[in-house]
Structure 1
Amino acid sequence: KQETQLKREIPAGWAVNTLSQIANITMGQSPAGESYNEDGIGTLFFQGSTDFGWLFPTPRQYTTSPTRMAKKGDILLSVRAPVGDMNIANADCCIGRGLAALNSKSRSDGFLFYVMKYFKQVFERRNAEGTTFGSMTKDDLHSLQVVCPEPGLLKRYDDIVSEYNKMIFTRSLENQDLIKLRDWLLPILMNGQVKIK
Protein backbone atom coordinates (compact mmCIF):
# COMPACT_ATOMS: atom_id res chain seq x y z
CA LYS A 1 0.00 0.00 0.00
CA GLN A 2 1.12 3.57 -0.62
CA GLU A 3 2.12 5.33 2.60
CA THR A 4 1.32 9.04 2.32
CA GLN A 5 3.56 10.22 5.19
CA LEU A 6 6.63 8.45 3.77
CA LYS A 7 5.66 8.89 0.11
CA ARG A 8 6.56 5.28 -0.67
CA GLU A 9 4.98 1.85 -0.64
CA ILE A 10 5.10 -0.42 2.39
CA PRO A 11 3.83 -4.02 2.62
CA ALA A 12 0.21 -4.63 3.63
CA GLY A 13 -0.14 -5.06 7.39
CA TRP A 14 2.88 -2.87 8.14
CA ALA A 15 2.46 0.47 9.88
CA VAL A 16 4.22 3.81 10.29
CA ASN A 17 4.72 4.74 13.94
CA THR A 18 6.70 7.34 15.78
CA LEU A 19 9.65 6.18 17.84
CA SER A 20 7.79 7.08 21.05
CA GLN A 21 4.97 4.68 20.05
CA ILE A 22 7.31 1.68 19.90
CA ALA A 23 9.97 2.61 22.48
CA ASN A 24 10.24 3.78 26.07
CA ILE A 25 12.56 6.80 25.88
CA THR A 26 14.39 8.36 28.83
CA MET A 27 16.29 11.58 28.14
CA GLY A 28 19.37 11.96 30.32
CA GLN A 29 19.80 14.62 32.99
CA SER A 30 23.15 15.39 34.58
CA PRO A 31 23.51 15.11 38.36
CA ALA A 32 25.27 17.83 40.36
CA GLY A 33 28.96 18.07 39.40
CA GLU A 34 30.19 17.64 42.97
CA SER A 35 28.61 14.16 43.07
CA TYR A 36 30.97 12.77 40.37
CA ASN A 37 33.88 10.49 41.24
CA GLU A 38 36.12 7.90 39.62
CA ASP A 39 36.47 5.81 42.79
CA GLY A 40 33.49 3.53 42.16
CA ILE A 41 31.37 5.25 44.84
CA GLY A 42 27.65 5.39 44.04
CA THR A 43 25.94 4.67 40.73
CA LEU A 44 27.69 4.12 37.41
CA PHE A 45 27.36 7.31 35.33
CA PHE A 46 27.74 8.11 31.64
CA GLN A 47 27.54 11.78 30.61
CA GLY A 48 27.72 11.19 26.85
CA SER A 49 29.37 8.98 24.25
CA THR A 50 32.95 9.66 25.48
CA ASP A 51 33.19 6.27 27.17
CA PHE A 52 31.46 4.32 24.39
CA GLY A 53 33.19 1.17 23.24
CA TRP A 54 32.45 -1.12 20.32
CA LEU A 55 29.19 -2.26 21.95
CA PHE A 56 29.34 -1.43 25.67
CA PRO A 57 30.55 1.71 27.44
CA THR A 58 33.65 1.52 29.65
CA PRO A 59 32.90 2.32 33.32
CA ARG A 60 34.87 5.39 34.43
CA GLN A 61 32.63 7.81 36.32
CA TYR A 62 30.18 7.35 39.17
CA THR A 63 27.71 9.65 40.92
CA THR A 64 26.34 9.72 44.44
CA SER A 65 23.25 11.69 43.27
CA PRO A 66 21.79 9.78 40.30
CA THR A 67 19.00 11.49 38.36
CA ARG A 68 17.78 9.74 35.17
CA MET A 69 18.51 6.02 34.92
CA ALA A 70 19.01 3.47 32.15
CA LYS A 71 18.42 -0.21 32.84
CA LYS A 72 20.80 -3.02 31.93
CA GLY A 73 20.14 -3.90 28.27
CA ASP A 74 18.83 -0.44 27.30
CA ILE A 75 20.14 1.21 24.15
CA LEU A 76 22.25 4.24 25.06
CA LEU A 77 21.91 6.82 22.27
CA SER A 78 24.10 9.90 21.93
CA VAL A 79 21.85 12.95 21.49
CA ARG A 80 24.74 15.42 21.28
CA ALA A 81 27.47 15.45 18.66
CA PRO A 82 28.17 12.87 17.43
CA VAL A 83 24.40 12.33 17.31
CA GLY A 84 23.34 8.72 16.82
CA ASP A 85 26.32 6.88 18.33
CA MET A 86 25.03 3.88 20.29
CA ASN A 87 26.03 1.41 22.97
CA ILE A 88 24.18 -1.04 25.17
CA ALA A 89 24.02 -0.50 28.94
CA ASN A 90 25.72 -3.54 30.50
CA ALA A 91 24.52 -2.48 33.97
CA ASP A 92 21.93 -0.15 35.46
CA CYS A 93 23.42 3.35 35.19
CA CYS A 94 22.72 7.06 35.47
CA ILE A 95 22.71 8.94 32.15
CA GLY A 96 23.65 12.58 31.60
CA ARG A 97 22.34 15.16 29.15
CA GLY A 98 24.35 13.77 26.24
CA LEU A 99 22.44 10.47 26.22
CA ALA A 100 18.99 8.96 25.93
CA ALA A 101 18.05 5.42 26.97
CA LEU A 102 15.64 3.37 24.85
CA ASN A 103 13.97 0.00 25.17
CA SER A 104 11.20 -1.59 23.14
CA LYS A 105 7.62 -1.45 24.42
CA SER A 106 6.96 -4.81 22.72
CA ARG A 107 10.24 -6.40 23.90
CA SER A 108 11.56 -6.33 20.32
CA ASP A 109 14.89 -4.82 21.37
CA GLY A 110 16.73 -6.42 18.44
CA PHE A 111 14.44 -4.66 15.98
CA LEU A 112 14.75 -1.36 17.87
CA PHE A 113 18.55 -1.60 17.95
CA TYR A 114 18.80 -2.00 14.18
CA VAL A 115 16.19 0.72 13.56
CA MET A 116 18.42 3.08 15.55
CA LYS A 117 21.46 1.88 13.55
CA TYR A 118 19.56 2.95 10.43
CA PHE A 119 18.87 6.39 11.91
CA LYS A 120 22.58 6.77 12.69
CA GLN A 121 23.25 6.47 8.93
CA VAL A 122 20.55 9.08 8.24
CA PHE A 123 22.15 11.53 10.69
CA GLU A 124 25.60 10.94 9.17
CA ARG A 125 24.24 11.53 5.66
CA ARG A 126 22.62 14.80 6.76
CA ASN A 127 25.86 15.89 8.43
CA ALA A 128 27.78 15.10 5.22
CA GLU A 129 25.32 17.25 3.25
CA GLY A 130 25.96 20.15 5.61
CA THR A 131 22.80 19.86 7.71
CA THR A 132 24.59 19.75 11.04
CA PHE A 133 23.03 17.93 13.95
CA GLY A 134 24.70 19.41 17.01
CA SER A 135 22.09 17.84 19.23
CA MET A 136 18.73 16.11 19.22
CA THR A 137 15.83 17.29 21.37
CA LYS A 138 13.25 15.13 23.08
CA ASP A 139 10.69 16.13 20.43
CA ASP A 140 13.11 15.28 17.59
CA LEU A 141 13.69 11.82 19.03
CA HIS A 142 10.06 11.08 19.93
CA SER A 143 8.80 12.07 16.46
CA LEU A 144 11.19 9.94 14.35
CA GLN A 145 9.07 7.86 11.97
CA VAL A 146 9.57 4.09 11.97
CA VAL A 147 8.11 1.55 9.54
CA CYS A 148 7.06 -1.45 11.64
CA PRO A 149 6.37 -4.94 10.28
CA GLU A 150 3.18 -6.73 11.24
CA PRO A 151 3.49 -8.29 14.75
CA GLY A 152 3.88 -11.93 13.64
CA LEU A 153 6.78 -11.12 11.31
CA LEU A 154 8.36 -8.85 13.92
CA LYS A 155 8.27 -11.69 16.48
CA ARG A 156 9.84 -14.16 14.03
CA TYR A 157 12.57 -11.63 13.20
CA ASP A 158 13.28 -10.93 16.85
CA ASP A 159 13.39 -14.65 17.74
CA ILE A 160 16.17 -15.13 15.19
CA VAL A 161 18.10 -11.91 15.83
CA SER A 162 17.95 -12.11 19.63
CA GLU A 163 19.99 -15.35 19.65
CA TYR A 164 22.75 -13.73 17.59
CA ASN A 165 22.63 -10.58 19.72
CA LYS A 166 23.01 -12.60 22.93
CA MET A 167 26.09 -14.26 21.48
CA ILE A 168 27.56 -10.92 20.36
CA PHE A 169 26.85 -9.31 23.75
CA THR A 170 28.42 -12.24 25.65
CA ARG A 171 31.59 -12.15 23.51
CA SER A 172 31.82 -8.35 23.86
CA LEU A 173 31.63 -8.60 27.66
CA GLU A 174 34.30 -11.31 27.59
CA ASN A 175 36.49 -9.01 25.47
CA GLN A 176 36.08 -6.20 28.00
CA ASP A 177 37.17 -8.55 30.80
CA LEU A 178 40.19 -9.68 28.77
CA ILE A 179 41.17 -6.05 28.09
CA LYS A 180 41.04 -5.30 31.84
CA LEU A 181 43.20 -8.36 32.54
CA ARG A 182 45.69 -7.34 29.85
CA ASP A 183 45.89 -3.77 31.19
CA TRP A 184 46.57 -5.11 34.68
CA LEU A 185 49.03 -7.84 33.64
CA LEU A 186 51.09 -6.04 30.98
CA PRO A 187 52.72 -3.44 33.31
CA ILE A 188 53.59 -6.20 35.80
CA LEU A 189 55.26 -8.23 33.04
CA MET A 190 57.07 -5.18 31.63
CA ASN A 191 58.69 -4.19 34.95
CA GLY A 192 59.73 -7.75 35.75
CA GLN A 193 57.44 -8.38 38.74
CA VAL A 194 56.20 -11.55 37.06
CA LYS A 195 58.17 -13.85 34.79
CA ILE A 196 56.68 -16.30 32.30
CA LYS A 197 58.40 -19.70 32.10
Structure 2
Amino acid sequence: MSEWKEYKLGDITNWYSGGTPSKDKKDYWGGSIPWISAKTMTDYQVSSSELTITENGLANGSRLAIEKDILLLVRGSGLFIDIPINIVEKPVAFNQDIKAIRAKNPELQDFIFFWLQGNKKGLNDILEETGIGAGKFDTDLLKKLDISIPTNKTEFDFIVQTAKAIFDKIDLLERQNAALEKMAQTLFRQWFLEEANDEWAISSLSEMANFLNGLACQKFPPKNDLDKLPALKIKELSSGISENSDWVSTDIKPEYIVKNSDVIFAWSASLMVKIWDGQDCILNQHLFKVTSEDYPKWFYYLWCKHHLTEFISIAASHATTMGHIKRGDLDEAKVLIPSPEELGAMTEQAEPLIQKIIANNIQINTLIKLRDSLLPKLMTGEVTVEQ
Protein backbone atom coordinates (compact mmCIF):
# COMPACT_ATOMS: atom_id res chain seq x y z
CA MET A 1 0.00 0.00 0.00
CA SER A 2 1.26 3.49 -0.81
CA GLU A 3 1.84 6.01 1.94
CA TRP A 4 -1.25 7.36 3.70
CA LYS A 5 -1.19 10.42 5.93
CA GLU A 6 -3.35 10.55 9.06
CA TYR A 7 -5.30 13.59 10.21
CA LYS A 8 -7.94 14.48 12.73
CA LEU A 9 -11.18 15.08 10.85
CA GLY A 10 -11.64 18.44 12.55
CA ASP A 11 -8.18 19.62 11.48
CA ILE A 12 -9.02 19.43 7.75
CA THR A 13 -12.67 20.57 7.85
CA ASN A 14 -14.85 23.48 8.93
CA TRP A 15 -18.20 22.73 10.58
CA TYR A 16 -21.37 24.82 10.44
CA SER A 17 -24.62 24.60 12.42
CA GLY A 18 -28.07 25.15 10.94
CA GLY A 19 -31.27 26.41 12.47
CA THR A 20 -35.04 26.78 12.21
CA PRO A 21 -36.57 30.20 11.62
CA SER A 22 -39.57 31.05 13.80
CA LYS A 23 -42.68 29.26 12.55
CA ASP A 24 -44.71 32.23 13.82
CA LYS A 25 -43.15 34.54 11.23
CA LYS A 26 -45.04 33.99 7.98
CA ASP A 27 -42.54 36.06 6.03
CA TYR A 28 -39.80 33.55 6.95
CA TRP A 29 -41.46 30.63 5.17
CA GLY A 30 -42.59 29.74 1.66
CA GLY A 31 -39.68 31.32 -0.19
CA SER A 32 -37.31 29.90 -2.78
CA ILE A 33 -34.65 28.41 -0.48
CA PRO A 34 -35.06 24.66 0.25
CA TRP A 35 -34.91 23.96 4.00
CA ILE A 36 -33.45 20.57 4.86
CA SER A 37 -34.37 18.42 7.86
CA ALA A 38 -33.88 14.72 8.65
CA LYS A 39 -37.03 13.94 6.67
CA THR A 40 -35.41 15.30 3.50
CA MET A 41 -32.09 13.45 3.84
CA THR A 42 -33.12 10.35 1.91
CA ASP A 43 -30.91 10.55 -1.18
CA TYR A 44 -27.20 10.67 -1.92
CA GLN A 45 -27.48 14.28 -3.14
CA VAL A 46 -29.81 16.91 -1.73
CA SER A 47 -31.16 19.94 -3.55
CA SER A 48 -34.85 20.33 -2.72
CA SER A 49 -37.41 20.10 0.06
CA GLU A 50 -41.15 20.45 0.54
CA LEU A 51 -40.37 23.14 3.11
CA THR A 52 -38.77 26.36 1.89
CA ILE A 53 -37.73 29.60 3.56
CA THR A 54 -37.23 33.18 2.42
CA GLU A 55 -34.06 35.28 2.47
CA ASN A 56 -35.49 36.90 5.59
CA GLY A 57 -35.94 33.49 7.20
CA LEU A 58 -32.39 32.53 6.28
CA ALA A 59 -31.04 35.68 7.90
CA ASN A 60 -33.10 35.11 11.05
CA GLY A 61 -32.51 31.59 12.20
CA SER A 62 -31.00 29.32 9.59
CA ARG A 63 -27.85 28.88 7.51
CA LEU A 64 -27.04 28.20 3.87
CA ALA A 65 -25.02 25.16 2.82
CA ILE A 66 -23.25 25.71 -0.47
CA GLU A 67 -22.72 23.32 -3.37
CA LYS A 68 -20.52 20.30 -2.45
CA ASP A 69 -20.97 20.81 1.31
CA ILE A 70 -21.53 17.58 3.25
CA LEU A 71 -24.66 17.42 5.41
CA LEU A 72 -24.50 15.07 8.41
CA LEU A 73 -27.47 14.41 10.67
CA VAL A 74 -26.20 14.66 14.25
CA ARG A 75 -29.46 14.32 16.21
CA GLY A 76 -32.63 12.29 15.61
CA SER A 77 -34.39 9.00 16.33
CA GLY A 78 -33.59 7.67 12.85
CA LEU A 79 -29.86 7.63 13.57
CA PHE A 80 -30.22 4.19 15.14
CA ILE A 81 -31.47 2.89 11.78
CA ASP A 82 -29.12 4.75 9.45
CA ILE A 83 -26.84 7.79 9.51
CA PRO A 84 -27.91 10.21 6.74
CA ILE A 85 -24.96 11.81 4.96
CA ASN A 86 -25.63 13.93 1.87
CA ILE A 87 -23.76 15.99 -0.69
CA VAL A 88 -25.34 19.37 -1.44
CA GLU A 89 -26.20 19.58 -5.14
CA LYS A 90 -27.27 23.23 -5.00
CA PRO A 91 -27.46 25.70 -2.08
CA VAL A 92 -29.94 24.75 0.66
CA ALA A 93 -30.70 25.87 4.20
CA PHE A 94 -30.71 23.29 7.00
CA ASN A 95 -31.94 22.89 10.55
CA GLN A 96 -30.20 22.59 13.91
CA ASP A 97 -30.08 18.78 13.87
CA ILE A 98 -27.68 18.86 10.91
CA LYS A 99 -24.06 19.90 10.52
CA ALA A 100 -22.55 21.15 7.28
CA ILE A 101 -18.97 19.99 6.76
CA ARG A 102 -16.63 21.76 4.36
CA ALA A 103 -13.07 20.67 3.61
CA LYS A 104 -10.46 23.37 4.11
CA ASN A 105 -8.86 22.02 0.94
CA PRO A 106 -11.71 21.70 -1.64
CA GLU A 107 -9.87 18.85 -3.38
CA LEU A 108 -10.54 16.67 -0.33
CA GLN A 109 -14.31 17.26 -0.22
CA ASP A 110 -15.41 14.17 -2.17
CA PHE A 111 -12.90 11.93 -0.37
CA ILE A 112 -14.19 13.08 3.03
CA PHE A 113 -17.80 12.43 1.96
CA PHE A 114 -17.01 8.88 0.85
CA TRP A 115 -14.86 8.32 3.94
CA LEU A 116 -17.82 9.24 6.16
CA GLN A 117 -20.09 6.94 4.13
CA GLY A 118 -17.59 4.09 4.45
CA ASN A 119 -17.02 4.68 8.16
CA LYS A 120 -20.61 4.39 9.41
CA LYS A 121 -19.60 1.54 11.71
CA GLY A 122 -17.09 3.85 13.39
CA LEU A 123 -19.72 6.58 13.59
CA ASN A 124 -22.16 4.14 15.20
CA ASP A 125 -19.56 3.39 17.86
CA ILE A 126 -19.71 6.99 19.13
CA LEU A 127 -23.46 7.46 18.66
CA GLU A 128 -25.06 8.44 21.96
CA GLU A 129 -28.67 8.33 23.16
CA THR A 130 -30.61 11.34 24.35
CA GLY A 131 -32.96 11.31 27.32
CA ILE A 132 -35.94 10.86 24.97
CA GLY A 133 -34.47 7.90 23.10
CA ALA A 134 -33.16 9.75 20.04
CA GLY A 135 -29.60 9.41 18.81
CA LYS A 136 -27.04 12.19 18.93
CA PHE A 137 -23.42 12.81 18.02
CA ASP A 138 -20.99 14.84 20.09
CA THR A 139 -19.44 17.13 17.47
CA ASP A 140 -16.15 17.29 19.38
CA LEU A 141 -15.87 13.49 19.19
CA LEU A 142 -16.60 13.55 15.48
CA LYS A 143 -13.86 16.10 14.91
CA LYS A 144 -11.39 13.90 16.79
CA LEU A 145 -11.92 10.92 14.45
CA ASP A 146 -8.77 9.79 12.65
CA ILE A 147 -8.93 9.93 8.85
CA SER A 148 -6.15 8.61 6.62
CA ILE A 149 -5.68 10.00 3.10
CA PRO A 150 -3.41 8.55 0.40
CA THR A 151 -0.57 10.83 -0.65
CA ASN A 152 -0.36 9.22 -4.09
CA LYS A 153 -2.63 11.18 -6.46
CA THR A 154 -3.31 8.15 -8.69
CA GLU A 155 -4.56 6.13 -5.74
CA PHE A 156 -6.49 9.10 -4.35
CA ASP A 157 -8.28 9.66 -7.68
CA PHE A 158 -8.98 5.95 -8.11
CA ILE A 159 -10.72 5.75 -4.72
CA VAL A 160 -12.85 8.83 -5.32
CA GLN A 161 -13.78 7.86 -8.90
CA THR A 162 -14.65 4.26 -7.96
CA ALA A 163 -16.83 5.32 -5.01
CA LYS A 164 -18.48 8.06 -7.06
CA ALA A 165 -19.29 5.64 -9.90
CA ILE A 166 -21.19 3.35 -7.51
CA PHE A 167 -23.10 6.20 -5.84
CA ASP A 168 -23.93 7.82 -9.17
CA LYS A 169 -25.26 4.54 -10.60
CA ILE A 170 -27.52 3.99 -7.58
CA ASP A 171 -28.69 7.59 -7.81
CA LEU A 172 -29.39 7.23 -11.55
CA LEU A 173 -31.50 4.10 -11.02
CA GLU A 174 -33.44 5.71 -8.17
CA ARG A 175 -34.18 8.77 -10.31
CA GLN A 176 -35.22 6.50 -13.15
CA ASN A 177 -37.61 4.68 -10.82
CA ALA A 178 -39.12 8.00 -9.72
CA ALA A 179 -39.69 8.90 -13.37
CA LEU A 180 -41.21 5.47 -14.14
CA GLU A 181 -43.53 5.78 -11.14
CA LYS A 182 -44.61 9.22 -12.34
CA MET A 183 -45.29 7.86 -15.84
CA ALA A 184 -47.43 5.06 -14.40
CA GLN A 185 -49.37 7.53 -12.24
CA THR A 186 -49.93 9.75 -15.26
CA LEU A 187 -51.38 6.87 -17.27
CA PHE A 188 -53.60 5.87 -14.34
CA ARG A 189 -54.90 9.41 -13.95
CA GLN A 190 -55.61 9.66 -17.68
CA TRP A 191 -57.46 6.34 -17.86
CA PHE A 192 -59.44 6.40 -14.63
CA LEU A 193 -59.95 10.07 -13.79
CA GLU A 194 -59.80 12.07 -17.00
CA GLU A 195 -61.16 9.61 -19.59
CA ALA A 196 -63.11 7.12 -17.46
CA ASN A 197 -65.86 5.20 -19.23
CA ASP A 198 -69.28 5.50 -17.56
CA GLU A 199 -70.04 1.92 -18.58
CA TRP A 200 -67.18 0.44 -16.57
CA ALA A 201 -68.15 -1.70 -13.58
CA ILE A 202 -67.65 -0.27 -10.09
CA SER A 203 -66.00 -2.46 -7.49
CA SER A 204 -63.99 -1.87 -4.32
CA LEU A 205 -60.41 -2.42 -3.22
CA SER A 206 -61.47 -5.30 -0.98
CA GLU A 207 -63.27 -7.05 -3.87
CA MET A 208 -60.56 -6.37 -6.45
CA ALA A 209 -57.61 -7.64 -4.39
CA ASN A 210 -56.73 -9.76 -1.36
CA PHE A 211 -55.42 -7.88 1.68
CA LEU A 212 -53.55 -10.33 3.93
CA ASN A 213 -52.88 -8.87 7.37
CA GLY A 214 -49.56 -9.78 8.95
CA LEU A 215 -48.75 -11.91 12.00
CA ALA A 216 -47.95 -10.91 15.53
CA CYS A 217 -44.37 -11.92 14.78
CA GLN A 218 -43.26 -11.88 18.43
CA LYS A 219 -45.39 -15.04 18.86
CA PHE A 220 -43.18 -16.92 16.38
CA PRO A 221 -39.61 -16.71 17.68
CA PRO A 222 -36.93 -18.64 15.74
CA LYS A 223 -36.46 -22.27 16.74
CA ASN A 224 -32.89 -22.33 15.43
CA ASP A 225 -30.41 -20.16 13.51
CA LEU A 226 -31.27 -21.62 10.11
CA ASP A 227 -35.05 -21.62 9.83
CA LYS A 228 -35.67 -17.92 10.33
CA LEU A 229 -36.28 -14.69 8.42
CA PRO A 230 -36.41 -11.04 9.51
CA ALA A 231 -39.76 -9.47 10.40
CA LEU A 232 -41.09 -6.86 8.00
CA LYS A 233 -42.51 -4.09 10.17
CA ILE A 234 -43.38 -0.50 9.28
CA LYS A 235 -39.82 0.55 10.14
CA GLU A 236 -38.34 -1.98 7.72
CA LEU A 237 -40.84 -1.09 5.02
CA SER A 238 -39.62 2.49 5.22
CA SER A 239 -35.90 1.99 5.80
CA GLY A 240 -35.10 -1.62 4.90
CA ILE A 241 -34.00 -4.69 6.84
CA SER A 242 -31.14 -3.98 9.26
CA GLU A 243 -29.12 -5.78 11.90
CA ASN A 244 -31.63 -4.43 14.43
CA SER A 245 -34.59 -6.16 12.76
CA ASP A 246 -36.37 -8.90 14.70
CA TRP A 247 -36.14 -12.54 13.57
CA VAL A 248 -39.08 -14.87 13.07
CA SER A 249 -39.43 -18.61 12.60
CA THR A 250 -40.18 -19.77 9.05
CA ASP A 251 -42.52 -22.41 10.51
CA ILE A 252 -45.56 -20.40 9.40
CA LYS A 253 -48.00 -20.45 6.50
CA PRO A 254 -46.06 -19.62 3.31
CA GLU A 255 -48.39 -16.78 2.33
CA TYR A 256 -46.94 -14.71 5.18
CA ILE A 257 -43.49 -14.75 3.57
CA VAL A 258 -42.85 -11.50 1.69
CA LYS A 259 -40.69 -11.65 -1.42
CA ASN A 260 -39.10 -9.03 -3.62
CA SER A 261 -41.75 -7.31 -5.82
CA ASP A 262 -44.69 -8.02 -3.46
CA VAL A 263 -47.05 -5.06 -2.92
CA ILE A 264 -47.14 -4.08 0.77
CA PHE A 265 -49.65 -1.68 2.30
CA ALA A 266 -48.96 -0.22 5.77
CA TRP A 267 -52.44 0.48 7.17
CA SER A 268 -51.47 1.80 10.60
CA ALA A 269 -49.22 4.59 11.92
CA SER A 270 -47.20 5.67 8.85
CA LEU A 271 -49.51 4.71 6.00
CA MET A 272 -47.76 3.84 2.74
CA VAL A 273 -48.00 1.55 -0.27
CA LYS A 274 -44.76 0.11 -1.57
CA ILE A 275 -43.44 -2.54 -3.91
CA TRP A 276 -41.12 -4.42 -1.56
CA ASP A 277 -37.54 -4.32 -2.84
CA GLY A 278 -35.67 -6.18 -0.12
CA GLN A 279 -34.89 -9.74 0.92
CA ASP A 280 -37.39 -12.43 1.89
CA CYS A 281 -39.02 -11.62 5.23
CA ILE A 282 -42.10 -12.30 7.38
CA LEU A 283 -45.18 -10.04 7.19
CA ASN A 284 -45.83 -8.38 10.55
CA GLN A 285 -49.15 -7.08 11.82
CA HIS A 286 -50.21 -3.57 10.70
CA LEU A 287 -49.14 -4.49 7.16
CA PHE A 288 -51.18 -5.97 4.31
CA LYS A 289 -49.68 -8.07 1.55
CA VAL A 290 -51.79 -7.19 -1.47
CA THR A 291 -52.38 -9.81 -4.19
CA SER A 292 -54.99 -10.62 -6.82
CA GLU A 293 -55.84 -13.69 -8.85
CA ASP A 294 -57.84 -11.62 -11.34
CA TYR A 295 -55.92 -8.40 -11.95
CA PRO A 296 -52.29 -7.49 -12.80
CA LYS A 297 -49.91 -6.02 -10.27
CA TRP A 298 -49.92 -2.50 -11.77
CA PHE A 299 -53.71 -2.34 -11.46
CA TYR A 300 -54.07 -3.10 -7.76
CA TYR A 301 -50.84 -1.27 -6.86
CA LEU A 302 -51.94 1.99 -8.51
CA TRP A 303 -55.48 1.77 -7.15
CA CYS A 304 -54.06 1.38 -3.63
CA LYS A 305 -51.80 4.39 -4.25
CA HIS A 306 -54.77 6.34 -5.59
CA HIS A 307 -56.70 5.93 -2.34
CA LEU A 308 -53.68 6.46 -0.06
CA THR A 309 -54.24 10.20 0.52
CA GLU A 310 -57.84 9.50 1.53
CA PHE A 311 -56.72 6.70 3.86
CA ILE A 312 -54.12 8.95 5.51
CA SER A 313 -56.87 11.49 6.18
CA ILE A 314 -59.10 8.78 7.68
CA ALA A 315 -56.27 7.53 9.90
CA ALA A 316 -55.49 11.05 11.10
CA SER A 317 -59.13 11.57 12.12
CA HIS A 318 -59.15 8.61 14.50
CA ALA A 319 -58.77 9.70 18.11
CA THR A 320 -56.15 7.09 18.91
CA THR A 321 -52.46 7.15 19.65
CA MET A 322 -51.77 5.36 16.37
CA GLY A 323 -53.89 6.32 13.37
CA HIS A 324 -55.13 3.49 11.20
CA ILE A 325 -57.76 2.42 8.71
CA LYS A 326 -60.20 -0.49 8.96
CA ARG A 327 -61.22 -3.17 6.48
CA GLY A 328 -64.48 -1.28 6.08
CA ASP A 329 -62.49 1.56 4.54
CA LEU A 330 -61.22 -0.87 1.89
CA ASP A 331 -64.84 -1.80 1.20
CA GLU A 332 -65.71 1.87 0.69
CA ALA A 333 -62.76 2.61 -1.61
CA LYS A 334 -64.17 2.43 -5.12
CA VAL A 335 -62.39 0.90 -8.11
CA LEU A 336 -63.33 1.19 -11.78
CA ILE A 337 -63.09 -2.09 -13.71
CA PRO A 338 -62.56 -1.76 -17.48
CA SER A 339 -63.52 -4.50 -19.92
CA PRO A 340 -61.02 -7.37 -20.27
CA GLU A 341 -59.98 -6.04 -23.70
CA GLU A 342 -59.40 -2.51 -22.39
CA LEU A 343 -57.58 -3.81 -19.31
CA GLY A 344 -55.33 -5.90 -21.55
CA ALA A 345 -54.44 -2.86 -23.67
CA MET A 346 -53.70 -0.83 -20.52
CA THR A 347 -51.55 -3.63 -19.13
CA GLU A 348 -49.37 -3.57 -22.24
CA GLN A 349 -48.46 0.02 -21.35
CA ALA A 350 -48.43 0.03 -17.55
CA GLU A 351 -47.05 -3.35 -16.53
CA PRO A 352 -43.62 -2.86 -18.23
CA LEU A 353 -43.15 0.33 -16.18
CA ILE A 354 -43.77 -1.55 -12.92
CA GLN A 355 -41.57 -4.46 -13.98
CA LYS A 356 -38.75 -2.05 -14.89
CA ILE A 357 -39.01 -0.52 -11.41
CA ILE A 358 -38.73 -4.02 -9.91
CA ALA A 359 -35.70 -4.84 -12.09
CA ASN A 360 -34.05 -1.56 -11.15
CA ASN A 361 -34.65 -2.27 -7.47
CA ILE A 362 -32.83 -5.58 -7.78
CA GLN A 363 -29.88 -3.81 -9.40
CA ILE A 364 -29.94 -1.08 -6.75
CA ASN A 365 -29.79 -3.67 -3.96
CA THR A 366 -26.86 -5.40 -5.65
CA LEU A 367 -25.00 -2.09 -5.91
CA ILE A 368 -25.80 -1.21 -2.30
CA LYS A 369 -24.28 -4.50 -1.15
CA LEU A 370 -21.20 -3.80 -3.30
CA ARG A 371 -20.98 -0.26 -1.89
CA ASP A 372 -21.32 -1.38 1.72
CA SER A 373 -18.69 -4.10 1.38
CA LEU A 374 -16.22 -2.28 -0.88
CA LEU A 375 -16.33 1.29 0.43
CA PRO A 376 -14.83 0.65 3.91
CA LYS A 377 -11.97 -1.24 2.24
CA LEU A 378 -11.40 1.49 -0.35
CA MET A 379 -11.33 4.26 2.25
CA THR A 380 -8.72 2.50 4.38
CA GLY A 381 -6.47 1.27 1.58
CA GLU A 382 -7.34 -2.39 2.08
CA VAL A 383 -8.30 -2.43 -1.63
CA THR A 384 -5.64 -0.77 -3.76
CA VAL A 385 -5.26 0.42 -7.34
CA GLU A 386 -3.22 -2.69 -8.17
CA GLN A 387 -5.92 -5.02 -6.87
**TM-score of the superposed pair, with normalisation by structure 2:** 0.42
* Counterparts of 2:279 and 2:298, CA distance in 1: 18
Q: 2:248 aligns with which of 54, 59, 63?
A: 63
Quick check: 1:84–1:119 contact (8 Å CA) kept in 2?
no
Relative contact order, higher structure (CA 8 A, sep 6+): 1
Matched AA of 2:247? Y
* Equivalent residue, structure 2, for 1:115: 303
* Equivalent residue, structure 1, for 2:324: 135
* Equivalent residue, structure 2, for 1:52: 237
Q: Give the Å deviation of 1:93.
A: 3.6
* Equivalent residue, structure 1, for 2:84: none
Identity of aligned residues (%): 22
Alignment of 1:10-159 (within 5 A): 11-32=197-218, 35=221, 41-47=227-233, 49-52=234-237, 57-58=240-241, 60-64=245-249, 65-66=251-252, 69-72=256-259, 73-88=261-276, 93-124=281-312, 126=313, 131=317, 134-159=323-348
Q: 2:369 aligns with which of 158, 164, 180?
A: 180
| Equivalent residues, number | 183
* Counterparts of 1:42 and 1:90, CA distance in 2: 16
Q: Deviations over 1:52-108 (max 9, x none)?
A: 359xx5465431154661553431100111123423366654211120011123132
Q: Give the Å deviation of 1:32.
A: 2.6
Structure whose CA Rg is larger: 2
Quick check: 1:26–1:101 contact (8 Å CA) kept in 2?
yes
Q: Give the Å deviation of 1:22.
A: 0.9
Matched AA of 1:158? T
Query: Alpha carbons of 1:40 and 1:153: their partners in 2 closer, same or farther (altered >3 Å)?
Result: farther
Once structures 1 and 2 are overlaid, which stretch shifts more, 94-103 or 138-147? 138-147
Partner of 2:272: helix, strand, or coil?
Answer: coil
Once structures 1 and 2 are overlaid, which stretch shifts more, 134-143 or 98-107? 134-143
* Counterparts of 1:12 and 1:170, CA distance in 2: 36
* Counterparts of 2:376 and 2:280, CA distance in 1: 31
**TM-score of the superposed pair, with normalisation by structure 1:** 0.76
